[in-house]
Amino acid sequence: MLSERRLQVLRAIVQDYVGTEEPVGSKALTERHSLGVSPATVRNDMAALEDEGFIAQPHTSAGRIPTDKGYRLFVDKLAGVKPMSAPERRAIQNFLDGAVDLDDVVARTVRLLAQLTRQVAVVQYPSLTRSTVRHVELLSLAPARVMLVLITDTGRVEQRMVDCPAPFGEASLADLRARLNSRVAGRRFADVPRLVEDLPEAFDVDDRGTVSTVLSTLLETLVEENEERLMIGGTANLTRFGHDFPLTIRPVLEALEEQVVLLKLLGEAGDSGMTVRIGHENAYEGLNSTSVVSVGYGSGGEAVAKLGVVGPTRMDYPGTMGAVRAVARYVGQILAES
Amino acid sequence: MLSERRLQVLRAIVQDYVGTEEPVGSKALTERHSLGVSPATVRNDMAALEDEGFIAQPHTSAGRIPTDKGYRLFVDKLAGVKPMSAPERRAIQNFLDGAVDLDDVVARTVRLLAQLTRQVAVVQYPSLTRSTVRHVELLSLAPARVMLVLITDTGRVEQRMVDCPAPFGEASLADLRARLNSRVAGRRFADVPRLVEDLPEAFDVDDRGTVSTVLSTLLETLVEENEERLMIGGTANLTRFGHDFPLTIRPVLEALEEQVVLLKLLGEAGDSGMTVRIGHENAYEGLNSTSVVSVGYGSGGEAVAKLGVVGPTRMDYPGTMGAVRAVARYVGQILAES
DNA sequence: CCTGGCACTCTGTCCAGCCGAGTGCCAGAG
DNA sequence: CTCTGGCACTCGGCTGGACAGAGTGCCAGG
């Protein structure tokens, strides 16, 4: 096991490297942190840390930089989450309070996170399946054409066109609308399939085909992967990545465009509490030199979606984690109010 | 006026520079294009073109590169729009045909444009004010809380929460819904303010306040600037910009994040036909080294919104213009069908 | 008006050499 | 057993000079 001082050395290395973006040497360390020992001792400690794989040298005779494993230890044991200051918290709240609808909430959240962390922000829309049905609306657009609109308690709205196999009268439509809402309103979307299973049976034979079509469109809308949406922002912050970034930035931008990749990334993160994935811990190759900090948010106790940031492994973990947590908390409040 | 040959020289310079990304010299030009004259002659022509401001040298004794003015002349006089090939057109159509709703249409369009042009794609959602009302829905969420949902003929859906000054009964709500739809359904959003002006008068005194509140929320939703949305994609293509791009890419990413800037940019472009803005012709400073190719699209004859691409001034104008035009045409078709 | 020739300019690159930061190891002190 | 100071060594990055290559402008002649 590593001695207390060696852990302190590691902490100092991470902090300095995050600050200066340059490999840190033994002498600089003793000058900037009062470790109470000489550079030579620190050198021995560094050699030990390197043996254990927590730090590495870019070249012989350069300072050390933390490895992914080093950051991991730092995040798990050596650093806490830095809480936001009171003015920061107020600013967050004010900024989010002005939103007019869910799109606006998500858009503002993305901007806010990107600004606070100076990194790329990712915010998932509240999941349909984990939300509650507020209302299902059916509109007749043509004799055999219906628009289906789903509204959740988090304010999310989805619409789908349905081409009916047979003309569908206004009366039948109203009937279906009423029956549907009385069964599912206030219930969780996840339960909807079960709740509407036998609905066609209540209708005339003529209408059953149409009712089934409408219901199957409804169920399709709820299929995971299709129903997940997200918004990203702050990509301009990628330019602060490093000096070599033509090669670094490219795969990251590509990953960000692939919503599937991002959704998977967020999906893999733990469901409760904050998750930090460092460098190679990310399954997607393009993100091997980035860290992802994510957390679930929701209107009540349960998370309805996730949000987080993507940044260089060399990031200010305590600060970033603090910002992510605070934003998630306030977004949850906003959603609960709406 | 420039002689025919000098225009050909300019065309050749633009083509070569776009292809190689390197300043082009007189010798290379005569080798790659059969101009029928010697390098020395071309040198004289180049000197003339430089005097007129169409080309420039990065340094003394380097080849020439086109200026913004040079590209302008190229686009206006020397190059046409390269039509898409039949297979390309089929691919576009197939790709867009799979969309399930408007968000999906826009998302697919962005991806498609980005892939075809290998540049950053920008697609504006169909403008509310230029669309036609398909339906206005009102949902009672609480005694004094109403959700307003607008649906356009282009498939766009907007929702807003309305806090009513007084409780509003189901009957009144149904009444308002019916009256509202009978007045505005099928009409253009731009006409809505005029059409609903006197609506409160038809209601009981008790309900007038609520009706007015609902209507003013409806009108606010239609205010330009708020109602415009857009989607961007293909930012990873920015990495192909140039070798120096830490500085180049940054302001572009920032501009892309500022939706206001982009909307203004698209708004300034001519309403009909394709618009090409080259380098400094763009009012926004961050985009001074990029060109923007945009065109309106719509379900019928009239444009309901715009789409386009943002790329380096050194871009393949004929090909880009061809792709943008073709995509706009097919998106229009898709919207007309839905 | 076009062409071939010529002198000139400038950039990018390559190489050598130097400096500085940082390391590893060792012997000695506490 | 741990810490410290000293010392030799390594290596990357910067500097300066030299060089080659590409391209230009100009001029005299066809």
Higher model confidence: residue A112 or residue B270? Answer: A112
> So what's the pLDDT on residue B143?
86
- Does residue A336 belong to the interface with chain B, where contact is any CB pair within 8 Å? no
- Mean of the pLDDT values across residues B234-260? 82
Please tell me the least confidently modeled range out of A64-73, A243-252, B170-179.
Answer: A243-252
Residue B121, Cβ density class (10 Å: 0-12 exposed, 13-18 middle, ≥19 buried): buried
Q: Which one of B100, B159, B233 has the shortest CB-CB distance to A257?
A: B233
Beta-bridge partners for B56: B65
Residue B327 CA distance to nucleotide C16 C1' (Å): 58
Query: Does pLDDT of B91 surpass 80?
Result: yes
> So what's the pLDDT on residue A100?
84
| SS3 labels along chain A | CCCHHHHHHHHHHHHHHHHHCCCECHHHHHHHCCCCCCHHHHHHHHHHHHHHCCEECCCCCCCEEECHHHHHHHHHHHCCCCCCCHHHHHHHHHHHHCCCCHHHHHHHHHHHHHHHHCCEEEEECCCCCCCEEEEEEEEEEECCEEEEEEEECCCCEEEEEEECCCCCCHHHHHHHHHHHHHHHCCCEHHHHHHHHCCHHHHCCHHHHHHHHHHHHHHHHHCCCCCCCCEEEECHHHHHHCCCCHHHHHHHHHHHHHCHHHHHHHHHHCCCCCCEEEEHHHCCCHHHCCEEEEEEEECCCCCCCEEEEEEEECCCCHHHHHHHHHHHHHHHHHHHHHC
> So what's the pLDDT on residue B225?
66
Q: Are A67 and A53 in contact, with CB atoms under 8 Å apart?
A: yes
**Cβ contact, residue pair A151, B151, below 8 Å:** no
Calpha distance A244→A250 (Å, rounded): 11
- Mean of the pLDDT values across residues B42-48? 95
Q: Is the dihedral of CA B129, B133, B134, B137 positive or negative?
A: positive
Q: Are A240 and A252 in contact, with CB atoms under 8 Å apart?
A: no
Q: Are A330 and A323 in contact, with CB atoms under 8 Å apart?
A: no
Q: Are B219 and A233 in contact, with CB atoms under 8 Å apart?
A: no
Query: Does pLDDT of B125 surpass 90?
Result: yes
Query: Does pLDDT of B182 surpass 70?
Result: yes
Nucleotides of C under 7 A from a protein CB: 2-5, 8-11, 20-26
- Does residue B260 belong to the interface with chain A, where contact is any CB pair within 8 Å? no
Give the mean pLDDT of chain A: 91
Q: How many CB atoms lie within 10 A of CB B98?
A: 9
Q: Which residue has the tokens 């035009």?
A: B325
Q: Nearest-CA residue to the C1' of D9?
A: A61
Chain A residues with CB-CB distance to B141 below 8 A = 134-135
Calpha distance A324→A275 (Å, rounded): 11
Give the mean pLDDT of chain B: 91
Query: Does pLDDT of B227 surpass 90?
Result: no
Higher model confidence: residue B299 or residue B98? Answer: B98
- Does residue B155 belong to the interface with chain A, where contact is any CB pair within 8 Å? yes
Calpha distance A77→B59 (Å, rounded): 56
- Does residue A100 belong to the interface with chain B, where contact is any CB pair within 8 Å? yes
> So what's the pLDDT on residue A222?
87
- Mean of the pLDDT values across residues A132-155? 89
* Residue A126: pLDDT band with limits 50, 70, 90: very high
**Cβ contact, residue pair B246, A245, below 8 Å:** yes
Query: Does pLDDT of A157 surpass 80?
Result: yes
Query: Does pLDDT of A234 surpass 90?
Result: yes
Burial B306-325 (b: 16+ CB within 10 A, else e): bbbbbbbbbbbbbbbbbbbb
Closest CA to A293 of A78, A53, A81: A81
Calpha distance A313→A66 (Å, rounded): 9
Chain B CA closest to residue A231: B231
* Residue B3: pLDDT band with limits 50, 70, 90: confident
- Mean of the pLDDT values across residues B190-208? 91
> So what's the pLDDT on residue B161?
87
Calpha distance B78→B157 (Å, rounded): 43
Residue B21 CA distance to nucleotide C14 C1' (Å): 25
> So what's the pLDDT on residue B1?
64
> So what's the pLDDT on residue B60?
85
Nucleotides of D under 7 A from a protein CB: 3-6, 9-12, 21-27
Calpha distance A165→A188 (Å, rounded): 29
Chain B residues with CB-CB distance to A236 below 8 A = 250, 253-254, 257
Query: Does pLDDT of A300 surpass 80?
Result: no
Higher model confidence: residue B61 or residue A278? Answer: A278
Query: Does pLDDT of B242 surpass 70?
Result: no
> So what's the pLDDT on residue B224?
66
- Does residue A254 belong to the interface with chain B, where contact is any CB pair within 8 Å? yes
Calpha distance A55→B220 (Å, rounded): 57
Q: Is the CB of B141 under 7 A from strand D?
A: no
Higher model confidence: residue B261 or residue A301? Answer: B261
Percent of chain B with pLDDT over 90: 67
Residue A57 CA distance to nucleotide D10 C1' (Å): 13
Q: Is the CB of A55 under 7 A from strand C?
A: no
**Cβ contact, residue pair B253, A245, below 8 Å:** no
Q: Is the CB of A57 under 7 A from strand C?
A: yes
Model pTM score: 0.90
Q: Which one of B139, B161, B239 has the shortest CB-CB distance to A135?
A: B139
CA atoms within 13 Å, Cβ hemisphere of A44: 7
Query: Does pLDDT of A308 surpass 90?
Result: yes
Q: Which one of B141, B236, B245 has the shortest CB-CB distance to A253?
A: B236
Query: Does pLDDT of A302 surpass 90?
Result: no
* Residue A333: pLDDT band with limits 50, 70, 90: very high
> So what's the pLDDT on residue A242?
64
**Cβ contact, residue pair A235, B243, below 8 Å:** no
Q: Which two structure tokens, joined as six digits, stand for A234?
A: 């702050």
- Does residue B104 belong to the interface with chain A, where contact is any CB pair within 8 Å? no
> So what's the pLDDT on residue A336?
85
Give the nucleotide nearest to B60 (CA→C1'): C10
**Cβ contact, residue pair B239, A250, below 8 Å:** yes
> So what's the pLDDT on residue B47?
95
CB neighbour list of residue A15: distance below 8 Å, 6 or more residues apart: none
Query: Does pLDDT of A298 surpass 80?
Result: yes
Closest CA to A312 of A245, A230, A258: A245
Query: Does pLDDT of A225 surpass 80?
Result: no
Interface A:B, Cβ pairs < 8 A: 85
Work out the minimum CA distance from A212 to partner chain B, whole angstroms. Answer: 18
Chain A residues with CB-CB distance to B263 below 8 A = none
The model's pLDDT over B248-294, given as tens digits with 9 standing for 90+, comes to 788 899 999 998 999 999 998 877 789 999 999 999 999 999 999 99
Closest CA to B127 of B161, B88, B104, B158: B158
Chain B CA closest to residue A247: B239
> So what's the pLDDT on residue A141?
82
> So what's the pLDDT on residue B273?
87
